Structure 1
Amino acid sequence: KPLSLVHFNSKPSTRQCERLLLGCTTMALVAHSAGFSATYGTYCMFVWCFCFAVTLVVFTLDVTRLHGCMPISWDNFTVAFAMLATLMYVTASIVYPVYFLRSECPSEGCEVRNYRIAVTVCSSVCCFAYGAEVFITRAKPGHVVGYMATVSGLLKVVQAFIACIIFGALANDSEYNRHIPTQYCVVVYSLCFAVTVVVVALTVSGRTSSLRFPFDRFVVIYTFLAVLLYLSAAVVWPVFSFDKKYGTPGRPEDCPRGKCPWDSKLVIAVFTCANLVLYFTDLVYSQRIRFVSHSAV
């Protein structure tokens, strides 16, 4: 039996207005004087513009009540977006000051540094604002909610986001094509990411009830397989990246910052282990969700 849905309070809240105001302020500060450049700056600007645009659409649809005409599960969509926006703002709030903020004044003057400090503060506050929305709308004991509001549903968004980070590191000269086992790891990342996105898409589209198989059982089986696949990748990738026989144990001294294959390999190894932990945690909660949904029959 698919998980039942219940509508949260769909009235436009002051929280949405606060996020819109903070997002608009952040973009205005960057465009006015703080500035951005290179890939990292473009990513940060994309995060702020994307989250602001989607939040504006959500707010508009809430005000006009037009979301009822859309062929999606609105509650699942809004909580999934809030989780995604939180993760995107976390990365932007870290990346921007790391690459653009220094203790000394830049060549453009101290005013630019002050604007960049303000951008960092606004971005960080907006991150907490989206995180608060996830905390408020998450599943609570005794309440029947949409799947994306459960811990398992929220973890699906985090897993997909971390997979995107892994893909970014793979594309950044990771030398994964040098060994067949590392290519196998890429297949693992791609397969798990694809199925996770399908699970989220089915849930947000509200199509889980029309499936020919129990959705909650499928989620448990897939998550179990994902744990096994990521466990193999968490062993294979470090061996063929850092073992003396296949790779380099330590970071080469002549490796430029931001364009070093060893750094990309390290990022992939760390986030592979992180996703392994997330999938294992997801498996535990998926079992709990399945038990509750069946016991309620």
Structure 2
Amino acid sequence: MDSQGGPYLNKRALCSPLGAARLCQLAMGCAVIAMVTHSAGYSGSQGVFCMAAWCFCFAMTVVVFFLDATRLYSCLPISWDNLTVTCAAFATLMYVTASVVYPLFFVRAECPYAGCDVRNFRIAVTVCSILGALAYGAEVALCRARPGQAVVGYMATVSGLLKVVQGFVACIIFGALANGSEYSRYAATIFCVVVYAFCFALTALVVVMTVCGRTKAVRCLPFDRFVVVCTLLEVLLYLSASVVWPVFCFDTKYGSPWRPSSCPQGRCPWDSKVVVAVFSFVNFGLYVADLIYSQRIRFVSSHVHTNSRM
């Protein structure tokens, strides 16, 4: 609260580009959830994922907007700027994924048995989901630190945002591993799983430290140098996993380079292995980009509480 007798509510939470982006997020999230529950519908694991993503992002945005509007975030032992940009980046990825998955499994050109109203509602859900993804992306763009400047909010830098993407891609890898990937057949593929888990934990540690404002120093290393050391280690580990996994999954000595014809659609171990291989290369590229961008960061330690960005 303002000790100088100012307004109790933060007008910038509404009357600013960032406030407008969050209001758009709330409007699109509310519209999507209402249309899905009213008539569009969802089913199966894909539909449950989309609905869970929309509901989680909507609830998260409500909390962020409320804390920002009331300035109650100043009571929390966190770095507010780092938390909000992390949430926005994560929500952007969730919305983009749902905007692809939902129409892929639920939207058809012809009218379903339930009638054309259901199809039209599903198209509207897709459009609102895309607009929601753009609104979250706009928040990330508004909060992103400019190249070359000394920054307090590490998560607002390209390197910090890449940390969110790396964690999201790792979750996709874990999902594929759990979907009958048969990773326990060889010690080499078990090693790859350990690499994925360790790198995910290290990335999550950096994000949590940043959000909690624990960025003054780690032992004898400044925080920015600690991040570079971690990223270099992750690059080396992902490089090894990106080589080992395809060899022990698709070489004729250990597996099959071609998809078996008898493999069931949606429950095929070979498909899961391909997903893991592809996203291993994706995450390796992300970690390399992170390592390159992190060389340009000059991080400035600050108090836990920071001012909310416009």
Which residue identity lines up with residue 15 of structure 1 in the other structure?
A
Q: Is the 8 A contact 1:174 1:262 kept in 2?
A: yes
CA drift of 1:210 comes to 5.9
- The answer to whether residue 222 in structure 2 is matched with residue 214 in structure 1 is yes
- For residue 64 of structure 1, what is the aligned residue in structure 2? 70
- The answer to whether residue 149 in structure 2 is matched with residue 147 in structure 1 is no
Q: Is the 8 A contact 2:154 2:299 kept in 1?
A: no
Residue 260 of structure 1, aligned match among 268, 283, 291: 268
Residue 50 of structure 2, aligned match among 24, 44, 50: 44
Q: Is the 8 A contact 2:103 2:126 kept in 1?
A: yes
Q: Is the 8 A contact 2:169 2:283 kept in 1?
A: yes
Q: Distance in 2 between matches of 1:51 and 1:201?
A: 19
Flag structure 1 segments of 5+ consecutive residues without an equivalent: 1-8
- The answer to whether residue 242 in structure 2 is matched with residue 240 in structure 1 is no
Q: Distance in 2 between matches of 1:223 and 1:150?
A: 15
Residue 209 of structure 2, aligned match among 195, 202, 211: 202
TM-score by length of 2: 0.89
In terms of fraction of residues, the more helix-rich structure is 1
- The answer to whether residue 126 in structure 2 is matched with residue 111 in structure 1 is no
Residue 11 of structure 1, aligned match among 10, 13, 36: 13
CA displacement, residues 146-203 of structure 1 (integer Å, 9 cap, x when unaligned): 1000011000000000000000000000111111111100000000000100100000
CA drift of 1:111 comes to 1.2
- For residue 190 of structure 2, what is the aligned residue in structure 1? 183
Q: Distance in 2 between matches of 1:149 and 1:202?
A: 14
Q: Distance in 2 between matches of 1:242 and 1:210?
A: 44
CA drift of 1:106 comes to 1.5
CA drift of 1:108 comes to 1.6
CA drift of 1:10 comes to 5.9
- For residue 4 of structure 2, what is the aligned residue in structure 1? none
Between the aligned residues of both structures, percent identity stands at: 63
CA drift of 1:247 comes to 0.8
- For residue 178 of structure 2, what is the aligned residue in structure 1? 171
Q: Distance in 2 between matches of 1:11 and 1:34?
A: 32
Q: Is the 8 A contact 1:82 1:134 kept in 2?
A: yes
CA drift of 1:76 comes to 0.2
Q: Distance in 2 between matches of 1:240 and 1:178?
A: 9
CA RMSD of aligned residues (A): 1.4
CA drift of 1:144 comes to 3.0
Structure 1 window deviating more from structure 2 (67-76 vs 252-261): it is: 252-261
Q: Distance in 1 between matches of 2:89 and 2:119?
A: 30
- For residue 231 of structure 1, what is the aligned residue in structure 2? 239
Provide the secondary structure at the position in 1 that maps to 2:295.
helix
Q: Distance in 1 between matches of 2:47 and 2:106?
A: 8
CA drift of 1:264 comes to 0.6
Q: Distance in 1 between matches of 2:276 and 2:167?
A: 14
Aligned residues: 284
Q: Is the 8 A contact 2:150 2:299 kept in 1?
A: no
Which residue identity lines up with residue 184 of structure 2 in the other structure?
N
Flag structure 2 segments of 5+ consecutive residues without an equivalent: 1-10, 301-310
CA drift of 1:145 comes to 3.9
Q: Is the 8 A contact 2:223 2:299 kept in 1?
A: no
Q: Is the 8 A contact 1:139 1:145 kept in 2?
A: no
Q: Distance in 1 between matches of 2:287 and 2:84?
A: 22
Which residue identity lines up with residue 43 of structure 1 in the other structure?
F
Alignment of 1:25-104 (within 5 A): 25-104=31-110
Q: Is the 8 A contact 2:152 2:299 kept in 1?
A: no
Provide the secondary structure at the position in 2 that maps to 1:251.
coil
